[in-house]
Chain A
Amino acid sequence: MGDEGETMTNNVSENSEPTANQDELILAQQRQIEKEISDNIPLVGELDSVISLNKEYSTDDIYLEKIKDLASKYSYVRRTRPDGNCFFRAFSYAILEKLLCDKDSFIKFYKIAENSKNVLVELGFQQFTVEDFYDTYMEVLKRLKDIENIGEAKKELHNVFNDQGYSDYMVVYLRLLTSAQLQKEHDFYSCFIEGDRTVADFCHQEVEPMYKESDHIHIMAACSALNTGVRVLYMDRGTGNNVTKHDLPEGCSPTVHLLYRPGHYDILYP
């Protein structure tokens, strides 16, 4: 893999005449990388034991120690595809999965979602594309709501989130809701944005486009848009033997637990 990348680079620099269309070469390479990822990793995976993370770090003592600590708090992990949408996909999936076990909360959530479209249109999003995402989002929620048996509903959720078309639509709609939340409370969020970008700029560049990775600020806004809390467990090569936990918003009782490793989110289960 590494060698291939190297030869590719060499070829490109040797042919670097102004006429050669390098963008196309780069895109071709990029597409190949993406294809490899999408061929090998499902959008949302099956439950796996936390200990199974060991396989990824067999020679890394720092991570192995931290996985031990993580395993003392959580039993299972559900991996998501690292395509830049992992936070939004994992968050949506985990919330809905939780709500399926609690009919009343689900109905409440459904009501909030039902009224969410107008806010987006008021903010100036194109009505007919917003409707497109909204309709699909509500269609999925309705389908889940109508299944009586919890086990079957969970199965349906899993299928929907592994159907690229639907799964991406769920991600887009949550991105739009997050963007709307940021813009609604722009005074508050503007302190978290580096540089001289406005909140609206930030949303157009970092929130609304697909495959853009999420930061703290995305998570805060997404939580507040869906009126819920999330606990993120940070696991990196930093000092200490323990994973660090962060509740967002601070002091909430989290409904969703996510594992963060640099650049990627997965779902955790007790």
Chain B
Amino acid sequence: MSLESKYNLKSPGVKRLMREALELKNPTEEYYASPIEDNLFEWHFTVRGPPDTEFEGGFYHGRILLPPQYPMQPPNIILLTPNGRFEVNKKICLSISGYHPETWQPSWSIRTALLALIAFMPTKGVGTIGSLDYTPEERKTLAQKSQNWECTTCGKIADKLITGDTASSPALTQEESSMLQSIALKAEEDANRKETENIESAEENKEKEDDKPTRCGRMAKVFHEPDSEETSVRRRDIAESGSNEPQVEVNDMINQIQPSKDKDILWSLAIYIILFLIAILLIRRIFFM
């Protein structure tokens, strides 16, 4: 069945995807993407491993899943070829793909997403979703292997891209290059954030109050908090020092507490009372409904 007869051509989202399919019809040296047969909302793509990196010579194939609200919401990218940078068969965490919808812009496109993916490959993973931290050697081996990798739908992927100097992909627009820069920055930021998370968590907590549910990044941190490293470290400190000089330790603690003002004590008292009341209400609801 042809795509034209299957979809409501009046829907702007469908029109947009048709337009993108046309735009990306011809493979370039770096990327190729097209809708899989009879489904405009699922695409397969191939990108070339960026030169001068451990991915050089590799070909990476994957799926792009477009949400029904596309382009208002970002595409999801899933890699299928083992590459040592991203897990396969898992939605990738990239500020441009589905895990961070708040940074996606409707004026970006599938092409932008592929460019971002290529630019993102050589950056550090540092524990973000779907990231792998293989050694350069392992990645190089995988890049070599990928040349013979085949997709069950599309066949041998190394043939999907054109080679040689004859082809030149469309030049980056200003918007795109600034976007690619911000992606790199985002990656850096993410890396730093992991390290400074504990320090920031107190401040984040304050901010949380006026935060809206749309900011998944911040919320994630809030959710992490109960088990933050900081508290466990502190616990360990107390345990260690407790065996040595308990007296001094307690005195120190008292000294620290005193200047923190009665206000704080009042507040925590109030919070305990409220928690207690909530507990009572919950118990009442459970047992006396």
Contacts and interface: CB of A to CB of B under 8 A. Distances in A.
B190 interface: no
A172 B106 contact: yes
Nearest to A212: B102
A133 B12 CA distance: 9
A10 to B, nearest CB: 10
Interface stretch (A41-49, A64-72, A120-128, A184-192): A120-128
A38 to B, nearest CB: 10
Interface string A15-37: 01010011100110110010000
B174 interface: yes
A23 B11 contact: no
Interface in A179-237: 200, 204-205, 208-212
B219 interface: yes
A126 B224 contact: no
A212 B215 CA distance: 10
Interface stretch (B46-54, B137-145, B175-183): B175-183
A239 interface: no
A9 interface: yes
Contact of A126 (B16, B109, B182, B212): B109
A13 B214 contact: no
Interface in A113-131: 123-130
A263 B226 CA distance: 30
Contacts of A133: 106-107
B103 interface: yes
Interface in B78-132: 93, 99, 102-109, 112, 127, 129
B15 interface: yes
A136 interface: yes
Nearest to A10: B226
Interface string B201-226: 00000000000111010011001101
B223 A26 contact: yes
Given A12-B223, A26-B223, A172-B107, A128 B216 contact: no
22 contacts: A9-B223, A12-B223, A13-B223, A13-B226, A16-B224, A22-B223, A23-B216, A26-B220, A125-B173, A125-B175, A126-B108, A126-B109, A129-B107, A132-B16, A133-B106, A168-B106, A169-B12, A204-B179, A209-B102, A210-B72, A210-B73, A211-B102
